Each structure stands twice: as structure tokens, then as C-alpha cells.
A = this chain, B = another copy of it.
């Protein structure tokens, strides 16, 4: 680097010490260096090693974030943004140390513009709290990754989840972002207009960038009216293939399902045990329909006809809110329900996504792999989008088991890529999937990503060691 100053030649520890001293002198009581706190801020719920930052800054304002970033920039010290710690690919780890900026105290709902169906919030607001605050106004924010993630984190991993088949992903539901750049400047990526053709789409550049290009400090989200009628359904199928074919037909017929989720028979068994359900232990779809009373009835009827064509059904409907909540809680608890299947092992959530025409084939080949390799790995999927997860149980104390898990995951990604799919539908790259980037994108496209990272963050201080190495 031609611009390298003396500081970047200093040992990392010395630069961190200088930065910490400045942070303490300016941000004072918002700074924590306690080992437990630092460790809690690194890498929860993943198979990756815990790599804590040197300092945690509990930012309360945009100015705090700017101040912290400016100090880190001056000393070329890494900055790792943190929301709720629910990421799954090591996005919050600090492999080169540095300063973790905890944004959970920046949790104000700044404005709800009900006429415009949008809201302006800070990044630390979590999904559940946002919906609690919106309910009284008859509004909701649909994106639902299961975990009670922060919206800043959901922006940064381009999260989606069970509702994406109807409402899209974070990419489709962010109108604008405030971002603190690696030099500490504050930019706004767009206006509140519903659409714009005014230059490069900076909003979509930062959505999914996992904090490697800047820190999201403000978010304008699209909102939706709470549907007049909601009906959920559980529909058993004789096979994975039959269930997937029913999904394809449902989407092709334009039935606007709000959710259409697959659980394989292993997952159904686990959920029966964990959530005290009494479902038939066969591949099963969980569905939800949103609309007017009449439309929800019509959608459910049409789906029932399609399910029957593929040997599925009859569907059991859950119309009461508490029944629906129980059902979706069971679906969201898939991760936890898998844990008792192999006591002592930890769960690793995989996350591929393929064109829907290849979904049945991909799921079935994956199941064959699971059986042949003797693994425990129930399957759940946002099948309307072609996205599915296996909850792989791994004994981290057994090197052979870890090796087998890696072998399985590599084969899974290779299978998805060969079918025209992606190595991650919604969890992101983080540290865990960097090794697949070249295979998915090709070196030339990856060079474009590297060029963007290099030009916007020339000192590589923003969440380094994630997405792309430069």
C-alpha cells in the first residue's frame, strides 16, 4: 500500500492498545474489555472457533459509531459490528482481533409512516420487538429468519426465512440505509421513495455485505398491512418428491402462499418429540395463506387439490392464532429439536438453495448421502424458494466426526452448485463459506467483489476475514 503510514507497520497489539486508549478517553463507560463479554460477542451457535475482539464498544448513537470507526481507522484496527449474535457463519468473529461495535443499544424505532407503509429504525431493533410495536397500527414486517435477530444483522446477511416465498428477502424490503463508511463518514443510500433509478444501487450493495464495507446505523424498511385473514396448514406427503412436486405446482399456479415449508420425516419425528406435536412421521409441508377471508379459503382449497394430485393430504388447518403460533414455533425450533437426536453433539445448520425444478433431486441425493455416511441430519426447507437446511449433528471432540461433517458439507455445496444453485440461500458467507466463493462466482466475478472491497475499505478494517480476502 502506497498510503501505509508508520502505524500500519506497528505490531497489531500496539495499534490496538493505542486505539483502546483513545476509545476509553472519548467513549468512556461504553467500552468493555472483560474477557467474558468479549467472548460472548464472538461466534455464537456455530462450529467455528470463538475469536473474540480486543474491545467491545456499546454504541448508543450514530456519533458513537462514527467516533469508534474514526479511531479504528486512524490506527488501522479491525471493526466488527454486532447486533444480536444470531449469525451462523462466524460473521461476528474477530480473527484479527480489533474492536467489536455492539449496536444493540441503538434500538429506537424512529418513525412509522403508516400512509407510506414504511418505518425508520436503528439497527439494534430486533424482529420480534419491531412487530410488537407495529401491531397496534395494523402493520407488520414479514421477514422472519426464525431467530430473534437484529434488523441490522438481517440487513447485513441478506436474511430471509419462511415468508420469503411471498414477501421476498431483506434485499426486497429495505428502502434505504444509513451507513458509517470505513473512514467514519455517514452516508444515506437512498430516499424513502418506493423506487428510484438515480445511480448505482448503494442500498443493495450494503445489504448482504456483512459489515465488510461499512456499518449500518439506520434502516428504512417496507411494511405491510396485517392480512385480514391468515390460515396455516400441515399437509403430509408419501415422499419428499411428492411434496416438492406439490410445491412446484403451487408456485406455478400462482397461489400466493405466504409460507410453504418442508420437514422431512426425521425432522417431523424430532419436532413431535420436542414441541409435543402428534404429526404423522412422513415428509410434511407446513403452509400459511394470507389474504381476505375468501381468498384464503380459495388458496387453501386449490392447494388441497394439488396436494391430492401428488398423493398428499389431507391438510389439517390451524386458524386460531395460538394454534398457528404453536405450529410456527415448532418449525422455528427445528434447530433445538435436533439436539436430543444425538446427545453430546452440536448442531451445524447447512444452507443451500437451488432452482426449484432441481429441489426434489437435491434433497433426495442429500438424504442418500446422510444415510450412507451414517449422519444425523434432519432436513427443513423454505421450499418455495428452493432453499433447504440440514441440521447436522457433529461431535466436535471427535476429529473423525468433524472431518466427516466437512466432507458432507463440501459435497452438499458442490451438488447445489452443479444444479445451478448457491452455497448459501440466507445465512451468508462469513468465515464459514469463503472457500466456496470462487467455485460459485468464478475468479473474474470475485475480482469485481475484491475490487469493491479494496476501494471502499483500502485498509481492510471493516470486518476483515469475511466474504472476500483482499
Given B194, B441, B442, which contacts A353 in the complex, CB threshold below 8 Å? B194
Question: Which of chain B's residues have a CB closer than 8 A to the CB of A189?
Answer: 445
Is A25 an interface residue when CB atoms closer than 8 A count as contact? no
Is A169 an interface residue when CB atoms closer than 8 A count as contact? yes
Is A357 an interface residue when CB atoms closer than 8 A count as contact? yes
In the bound assembly, the distance between CA atoms of A102 and B368 in angstroms comes to 50
In the bound assembly, the distance between CA atoms of A193 and B419 in angstroms comes to 9
Q: How far is the CB of A391 from chain B (nearest CB, A)?
A: 18
Is A349 an interface residue when CB atoms closer than 8 A count as contact? no
Task: State whether A252 and B197 are in contact (beta carbons under 8 Å apart), knowing that A187-B444, A444-B185, A456-B448 are contacts in the complex.
Answer: no
Task: State whether A193 and B420 are in contact (beta carbons under 8 Å apart), knowing that A251-B117, A292-B298, A357-B115 are contacts in the complex.
Answer: yes
Pair B387/A195 contact, Cβ less than 8 Å:
yes
Question: Considering the complex, which residues of chain A in the window 191-223 have a beta carbon less than 8 Å from any beta carbon of chain B?
Answer: 191-202, 204-205, 207-209, 213
Is A452 an interface residue when CB atoms closer than 8 A count as contact? yes
Question: Which of chain B's residues have a CB closer than 8 A to the CB of A353?
Answer: 193-196
Task: State whether A195 and B444 are in contact (beta carbons under 8 Å apart), knowing that A224-B254, A298-B292 are contacts in the complex.
Answer: no
In the bound assembly, the distance between CA atoms of A291 and B291 in angstroms comes to 12
Question: Which of chain B's residues have a CB closer than 8 A to the CB of A436?
Answer: 198
Is A46 an interface residue when CB atoms closer than 8 A count as contact? no
Is A356 an interface residue when CB atoms closer than 8 A count as contact? yes
Is A6 an interface residue when CB atoms closer than 8 A count as contact? no
Q: How far is the CB of A259 from chain B (nearest CB, A)?
A: 15
Is A69 an interface residue when CB atoms closer than 8 A count as contact? no
Task: State whether A116 and B172 are in contact (beta carbons under 8 Å apart), knowing that A181-B444, A204-B205, A441-B198 are contacts in the complex.
Answer: no
On A, residues with C-beta under 8 Å from B are 113-118, 157-160, 164, 168-169, 171-172, 181, 185-202, 204-205, 207-209, 213, 224-225, 227-228, 248, 251-254, 256, 291-292, 294-295, 298, 353-357, 385-387, 417, 420-429, 433, 436-437, 440-442, 444-446, 448-449, 451-456, 467-468
